[in-house]
Amino acid sequence: MTIRRSLTGVTAAALAASLIGGGAWALQNAPQQPPAAQTPPTAPTPAPAPVQPRPAPTPRPAPTGPGAQPIVPQSSTTTTSAPPAASTAPAQPAPAAKPAATEPEKPAEPLKRARSSVAILQALDKVTTETMRFEAPVGQPIRYKTLVFTVRACETTAPDEDAPDSIAYVTVDTQPKALPGRVAPPGRQIFKGWMYANSPGLNPLEHPVYDAWLIACKTSAPVAPAASR
């Protein structure tokens, strides 16, 4: 029993030695691989420094003298000019709008004058200094001695006129009376025109013996002439 155990131990030791020798020979005859290159450690990337905003340039005051030109502030940073845009056709101007047609304002119509049916006249005999005031209806002849007065129109100025007045259009004919047994001489016209009550000297009757002028216009019926001495 003891002999068998020792043989078995010797056999196991020889087998282990042969295995160790074979393994060493295999390692010596195996091709050697070059060592892998080692990558150096990467340095940490430094963080970018914060950009401080540049202060805006202070605008300089514009010159005020004659011939002064405005100063354009120049930017400190260089800007890249954009490429020119493609040329386009010039825009056609829009047609001007025609003003709306407006009717011209009509001027206010002047007020009409008030017309009267009777004119009040006054006559003077320069030889006898006799005066007479009488009423002459429009269109009816009135005799004063050798004169015949015919009023064609008598009117009063409108309220919108500057100077209020009474105006009459009168014709005066000289007509001597016929003597007994004789034919009356033909008459003739010695005055025709407008008489003004407030301006008797503007268009007066010119006669060597008689004088006459307008007093006023009225609408009442005429009264019989009365002589005043």
Please tell me the predicted confidence (pLDDT) of residue 113: 86
**Over 90: is that where the pLDDT of 100 sits?**
no
Please tell me the predicted confidence (pLDDT) of residue 228: 41
Please tell me the predicted confidence (pLDDT) of residue 52: 65
- pLDDT tens digits for range 17-72: 666 655 555 555 555 554 554 555 555 555 656 666 666 656 565 555 555 455 55
3-state helix/strand/coil string of the chain: CHHHHHHHHHHHHHHHHHHHHHHHHHHHHCCCCCCCCCCCCCCCCCCCCCCCCCCCCCCCCCCCCCCCCCCCCCCCCCCCCCCCCCCCCCCCCCCCCCCCCCCCCCCCCCCCCEEECEEEEEEEECCCCEEEEEEEEECCCEEECCEEEEEEEEEECCCCCCCCCEEEEEEEEECCCCCCCCCCCCCEEEEEEEEECCCCCCCCCCCCCEEEEEEEEECCCCCCCEEEC
**Over 50: is that where the pLDDT of 226 sits?**
no
Please tell me the predicted confidence (pLDDT) of residue 169: 97
Please tell me the predicted confidence (pLDDT) of residue 184: 77
- pLDDT tens digits for range 165-198: 999 999 999 988 878 888 877 889 999 999 999 9
- pLDDT tens digits for range 117-164: 999 999 999 999 999 999 999 999 999 999 999 999 999 999 888 889
**Over 60: is that where the pLDDT of 92 sits?**
yes
